[in-house]
Structure 1
Amino acid sequence: MTRQFVTAIATALAVVSFSAMGCSTAKDEVRETPAPEKQKLATTKPSGPLPPELATESERWEVYARYGTLKPQIVVVDAGLEADKLAGYLPQLVRVRVSFPNPDPSGMPDRKALGWLNEISDFLHALAQKNRWSIPGWVTHDGVRDFYVYGPSELTKALPKAVRDQYPEIDVAFEAEQEPAWETYQTLLYPRPVDWQVISNQRVIQKLRDLGDTLQTPRKVMHWAHFPSEEARESFAETLDEFEVDEMSKADDSQMPYAVRFSHTTSVEPPVINPVTIRLMRLAAAHGGEYDGWETSVTTQVE
């Protein structure tokens, strides 16, 4: 997704309650958008300037609500960066922390604040593009938005001056740190496995909504999980007290050949489906397997 499209999604997420920011997943969607592996970053600094063919921004932007925090954190990340190549050329990190007035109880901005936060984002990206810096993402939380900018050593002076000249009235703070391995990108911004599931979930839920699904009506929801052995699958299936086991199968051409399909009746609103899918993901992993998501029919009537 483009940065502009993801910004629109992030804006929508920021104005809904955190209880509605759930984690769900669907079988086909997970297979269509597998989580890429983290990149192993170079530890030696390359010689010369940043090559012109090396892009500092990609078209693969993602947005997700971080799961497991006390208050919501809306993370926007450029997941398609060639970070392993960029890190050596752009080792300086500057965090630009912009505080916004009147956050709601969950720490999120209102629509007025979102407007000028997105304006600042556009300014920073234009500045980064002009100077060949990289902005791999930002996090909105607790009344602030933290933008993360990587560049050469002169970034520490050039970036604060440009922001203060453009926005002398805003409440902004800067924090600089040398990060030749881009640790912040790797550990704070880049999605964890559960975050990739959240990302896929958002796409699936949005597709259901686009088809007129209310999400509220209970319906049959089918889940899948795969295991390396029949014993592991049986052990997992024994824990499925509130589900009906529908089918067990084996695929000879898979590292996880032993599959189980199971189902229950539930609505698919994010706060409802979220704890179910997260628990199943962790439960399957505890038995050495992989949770492969869920699937359901489109329901347009409210019961």
Structure 2
Amino acid sequence: MSKNWDLYFDYINEKVASIVLDMDVWKEIDTEKYRQALTVRLILQQPNADGFPSSNESNIISEIEVALKELVSHKEIINVGRITTDGFRDIIFYSLPEKQKDLVEAANQIITSTGYEFEVFSMDDEKTWAFYFDILYPNQYQQQHMGNRSVIDSLKESGDCLETPRQVDHWLYFEHAPMRESFVEAIKKEGFSIEENSLQVNEDGPYPVTIHRVDSVDYFSMNDVTDLLVTFAEEYNGVYDGWGTLVMN
């Protein structure tokens, strides 16, 4: 289990979902050995309007989850993440194929006395770790949302109230100069200005460009902006490399 855990939001069956994931676990374990995906599903007793646990229930659910993970940690059953949505929490594990019985026993030991309804089930991957990479792992837009949250958290820690729109700088790279030029012309139509001194000439690539626009820097506003830029970058065979701005107290 790695130390690189992160959180993002998505929709599952048209319901908002919170997904917490060990982003690098697949780099640190033998995925051919730990190839069985298993889920312990807890049915929430006091979900809020979004299907997430209420503040009081959140602590109880977290305690159950921690106790369960600790109990199976020495049984070749590895926790890789969790999904919370629509009134339930799925705690996701990967294990040896024959270890489902051990997880069922652990769940019975930890959860039964709490009064929570639960079930344990397996996911049959068509290929090794398909569930992890195809369902749990964030796409490029969601990964950028995670990066947005990190920058916004840094702004808040510096005393920024996030209420004032301001110039936001964005960095992108392109494989070929003509594609960068086409991107520049297209993105101007979206209200962005180009930092002309960023248009470096490099025969070997990559070809950078810095653009900016005045925008709000709250989480939802920045997600909309970066979704746009990731899409444009992909269209012109480029890579969006993030954003930055000044702290405004």
Corresponding position of 1:133: 77
Which of 71, 89, 92 lines up with 1:148 in the alignment?
92
Structure 2 stretches lacking a partner, 5+ long:
none
Which of 209, 219, 222 lines up with 1:273 in the alignment?
222
Which of 159, 166, 170 lines up with 1:223 in the alignment?
170
| Residue deviations 1:149-199 (CA, integer Å, cap 9, x gap) | 222244222212221232212111121245471221222222322222122
Q: TM-score, normalised by structure 1?
A: 0.73
Corresponding position of 1:32: none
Which of 199, 202, 209 lines up with 1:260 in the alignment?
209
Q: What is the DSSP-based 3-state SS (H/G/I as helix, E as strand, rest coil) of the residue aligned with 1:188?
A: helix
Corresponding position of 1:161: 105
Corresponding position of 2:37: 93
Q: Aligned equivalents of 1:150 and 1:221: distance in 2? A: 41
| Contact in 1 for aligned 2:6/2:22 (Cα 8 Å) | yes
| Contact in 1 for aligned 2:64/2:110 (Cα 8 Å) | no
| Residue deviations 1:89-145 (CA, integer Å, cap 9, x gap) | 223322111110232222221111211111121012102212121111111111111
Matched, 1:211 2:158: yes
Q: Aligned equivalents of 1:249 and 1:223: distance in 2? A: 13
Q: Aligned equivalents of 1:80 and 1:234: distance in 2? A: 36
Q: Compared with structure 1, are the counterparts of its residues 177 and 280 closer, same or farther at alpha carbon in structure 2 (3 Å cutoff)?
A: closer
Residue type of the alignment partner of 1:293: G
Higher relative CO (Cα under 8 Å, sequence separation at least 6) belongs to 1
1:55-74 aligned within 5 A: 57-66=1-10, 70-74=14-18
Q: What is the DSSP-based 3-state SS (H/G/I as helix, E as strand, rest coil) of the residue aligned with 1:279?
A: helix
Q: Aligned equivalents of 1:244 and 1:289: distance in 2? A: 18
Q: Aligned equivalents of 1:186 and 1:295: distance in 2? A: 29
Alpha-carbon shift at residue 68 of structure 1 (Å): 9.0
Q: Aligned equivalents of 2:161 and 2:66: distance in 1? A: 34
Q: Aligned equivalents of 1:235 and 1:158: distance in 2? A: 57
Residue type of the alignment partner of 2:221: V
Matched, 1:249 2:199: yes
Aligned length: 243
1:160-199 aligned within 5 A: 160-168=104-112, 169-179=115-125, 181-199=128-146
Q: TM-score, normalised by structure 2?
A: 0.88
Q: Compared with structure 1, are the counterparts of its residues 282 and 218 closer, same or farther at alpha carbon in structure 2 (3 Å cutoff)?
A: same
Q: What is the DSSP-based 3-state SS (H/G/I as helix, E as strand, rest coil) of the residue aligned with 2:39?
A: strand
Q: Compared with structure 1, are the counterparts of its residues 227 and 88 closer, same or farther at alpha carbon in structure 2 (3 Å cutoff)?
A: closer
Q: Aligned equivalents of 2:69 and 2:81: distance in 1? A: 10
Aligned alpha-carbon RMSD (Å):
2.2
Residue type of the alignment partner of 1:220: Q
Q: Aligned equivalents of 1:218 and 1:268: distance in 2? A: 7
| Contact in 2 for aligned 1:91/1:150 (Cα 8 Å) | yes
1:99-118 aligned within 5 A: 99-118=43-62
Q: Compared with structure 1, are the counterparts of its residues 84 and 273 closer, same or farther at alpha carbon in structure 2 (3 Å cutoff)?
A: closer
